[in-house]
Amino acid sequence: TALTYSIPEEEIKSISQKFPNLKVIILLRNPVDRVWSKAKMKLCKHNNKNFEEISKDEWYDVFHEEFNSCPSYIDLVNRWEKHFSEDRVHVNYHYKLQTDPVTFLKEICNFISIDMNDFPDHVIQNLDKKIGGGMEKNIPKDFEIYLSQLYKKSIKEMNILSNKSNA
């Protein structure tokens, strides 16, 4: 969430001092998808409104509110890696969770040094089942274009971090 993106560096430092062996998992999501999901939740779900009842100005206000509240992905990762060694910070991606949950879980298990074989069979067999979820409304093309431009730098940073973690 945006709140975890904005943990002040002093708090990260304090966490690292109190828990020096802590392993940190940072899950990044395509910023366009993240903001669209957050805007739908905020404007539709929390206000009990249909998509069509919300003005474009309201959508754009939420888009900008989110844009101004989240640091860059590289800054986020660098803040954590400054206080925890790189081998204690694992960056992963929401799209991997959606497209290949078994591999995603394997990566997390490897990072925290647990054996995936210790999970009950039904857990592994049900990894691809979606539980919960938000409002099923695809992003309109004009919003997608706008957000892609707004978050161009963040998308590029996410690709850089993804290439770094795959190296």
pLDDT tens string 48-95: 888 889 999 999 999 999 888 877 888 889 999 999 988 999 999 988
Q: What is the pLDDT of residue 133?
A: 63
Sign of CA dihedral 97, 99, 110, 116: positive
On the question of pLDDT at 136 being above 80, the answer is no
Q: What is the pLDDT of residue 167?
A: 58
pLDDT (mean) for 29-54: 88
Q: What is the pLDDT of residue 69?
A: 82
Q: What is the H or E stretch that residue 25 is in? A: strand 24-28
- DSSP string covering 80-149, please? HHHHS-GGGEEEEEHHHHHH-HHHHHHHHHHHHT--GGGS-HHHHHTTT---S-----PPPHHHHHHHHH
Please provide the average confidence, as pLDDT, over all residues in the chain: 87
